[in-house]
Amino acid sequence: MNAPTTSFRAGLVAGFGAYVIWGLMPLYLRLLHDFAAGDVLGHRIAWSLLVLAGVLTVSGGWRRLAMILRTPKLVAMLFASAVAIGVNWLVYTWAILAGHVLDTSLGYFINPLLNVVFGVALLGERLTRLQWVAVTLAAAGVAVQTVALGYLPWISIVLAFSFGTYGLIRKKAGVDGLSGLVVETLLLAPIAFLWLATRPYSVAELPGWQIATLAASGVITATPLLLFGRAARILPLSTLGLIQYLSPTLVFFQAIFLFGEELQPARLAAFACIWAGLALYTWTLRPRTAVAS
């Protein structure tokens, strides 16, 4: 077995691992249904900081972290990305606990096409005619749900925009995934600790299984991000782009078959428009084979 093949397979394993963990996140969050979304997020940030500090120590990354912290521009950019991912985590957690799992799935199906729009509007990228059709189909999906159900799917939109904004800022910041995540977690930690300090209970008073479940949030947060970072370094962007649909697909099936959410015709039509847009956009990215003369 040659080295490139081994490396590619390692990248696939890492990529699938990351998106499977993200896709199964609702199952984990449902274990914490006794807590408010803010409590879950506070614990997630606090325990993640502990796990990431350990990973940083093992990987010898403290020097890279110090360099970032001495660069005000990078700190400012990572503060903005921390706010974006904090909003994303909070809304996602609240939506899962409140029974809006389908809306979270829709948001992460919208996200790849929203990234395309960001690329055009902010990075000067150009789209083909078919790619514009794909983006229009996604917009039509949101419009269908808004008109038919009588409300804007704000959960889906906030999740798509916050994660898209996060990705855009991190792309511009150009820092490695682990160091960036540690800085973001450090910046969010004071808010998390302050929030947890105001709670009418202490962790020590909780049953052992709840303490263990909350503590697991650090590993559950850090592991897929580290796996994703490894996959992103190895796999072509087109391959990683296809794997990313695994996560919202898993969430979609959990919403229908495990959590009993109703897939109304209007919502199904919205999903169909977005799926069609994703399929069309993915097709435009296929490798072009040379034609022999």
What digits encode the pLDDT tens for the residues 249-271? 999 999 999 999 988 888 888 88
pLDDT digits (tens, 9 = 90+) for 54-72: 999 998 889 999 999 999 9
Could you tell me the pLDDT band of residue 290, with boundaries at 50, 70 and 90? very low
Tokens of residue 287, six digits: 């490798």
Query: In angstroms, what CA-CA distances link 12 with 5, 132, 221, 290?
Result: 11, 29, 20, 27
Average pLDDT over residues 122-135: 83
Where is pLDDT greater, at 283 or 16? 16
Q: Would you say 166 and 88 are in contact if contact means Cβ atoms under 8 Å apart?
A: yes
Residue 288 confidence (pLDDT) above 60 = no
Q: Cα-atom radius of gyration of the chain, to the nearest Å?
A: 20
Tokens of residue 201, six digits: 């209970």
Residue 238: predicted pLDDT:
63
Residues of 122-131 as b/e, b for ≥16 C-beta within 10 angstroms? eeeeebeeeb
Query: In angstroms, what CA-CA distances link 50 with 45, 70, 169, 218?
Result: 9, 22, 24, 7
Count CB atoms within 10 A of the CB of residue 233: 12
- Provide CB contacts within 8 A for 92, sequence distance 6+: 25, 104, 159
What are the E-state strand segments in the chain? none
Query: In angstroms, what CA-CA distances link 45 with 49, 64, 202, 216, 251?
Result: 6, 21, 17, 11, 23
Q: What is the mean pLDDT of the chain?
A: 87
What is the percent of the chain with per-residue pLDDT over 90, rounded to a whole number? 48
- For residue 98, give the nearest of 172, 33, 143 by alpha carbon: 33
Could you tell me the pLDDT band of residue 4, with boundaries at 50, 70 and 90? low
What span, in angstroms and rounded, lies between the C-alpha atoms of 283 and 280? 5
pLDDT digits (tens, 9 = 90+) for 38-58: 999 999 999 999 999 999 999
pLDDT digits (tens, 9 = 90+) for 89-115: 999 999 999 999 999 999 998 888 887
Residue 291: predicted pLDDT:
42
